[in-house]
Amino acid sequence: MKKVIMINGLIASGKNTIGELLAKHFNDNGTKAEFLDIDKAVEEINPDNVWGNEKETLKIWLEARKNYAERTNQSDAEVISVVGPFFSKAEIKGFTDYINDDSELYLYTLDTPLEVRIERNKHRSRSNDPKDITDQEANFQKIKDLMYGGTVKNIGTTEETISQILEQMENNMGQINKNDFKD
């Protein structure tokens, strides 16, 4: 049975780093794994990074989620680590609707302190305006108790964060059922 691990988090929370290292951990331990970043799927659909109205933007993100769900299904990897925004029920559904029913689904939101994210953002190739990060944090604080799946404190080393995710998986924490996101 394929395990699909969805990594969620705010801007500069460490999603790509953790997602890549999680796939590496499984590969290094004899389980074939693959890393996917939904932002890359968006770039494939919208290479010029030109955004229209909200409806057009949502359409691009849904198409990206569907494309990577299909890629997940076609992969011969036993574990897929997928990074993308999975905050809302619609964002989760837009991906899990297209995942094969026999896959085990896990969702983890990285909880990374604002100060750490602002500092990390300074060193990114495509950094965001610090105000965007602060605004996103304020919005997240309003909904964080309503999040789906598990939450992982991303405040120590990357190895500690990976260990937290693996421990939660062993205890079936963070496991989600795609039927919970049906209309």
- The total number of structural domains that make up the chain: 1
Looking up residue 147, the CATH number of its domain turns out to be 3.40.50.300
For residue 111, give every residue at least 6 positions away whose Cβ sits within 8 Å of its Cβ, in sequence order, or none: 9, 13, 144, 151, 152, 153, 154
- Tell me the average pLDDT across 159-163: 96
pLDDT band at 37 (very low <50, low <70, confident <90, very high): very high
Q: Which of 152, 173, 180, 7 shows the shortest CA–CA distance to 89?
A: 180
pLDDT (0 to 100) of residue 25 = 97
Rounded distance between C-alpha atoms, residue 120 and residue 114, angstroms? 10
**pLDDT tens, residue by residue, 65-103:** 999 999 999 999 999 999 988 998 999 999 999 999 999
Percentage of the chain exceeding pLDDT 70? 100
pLDDT (0 to 100) of residue 57 = 86
For residue 18, give every residue at least 6 positions away whose Cβ sits within 8 Å of its Cβ, in sequence order, or none: 7, 110, 154, 158, 161, 162, 165
Residue 155, domain extent: 3-181
- Tell me the average pLDDT across 20-48: 93
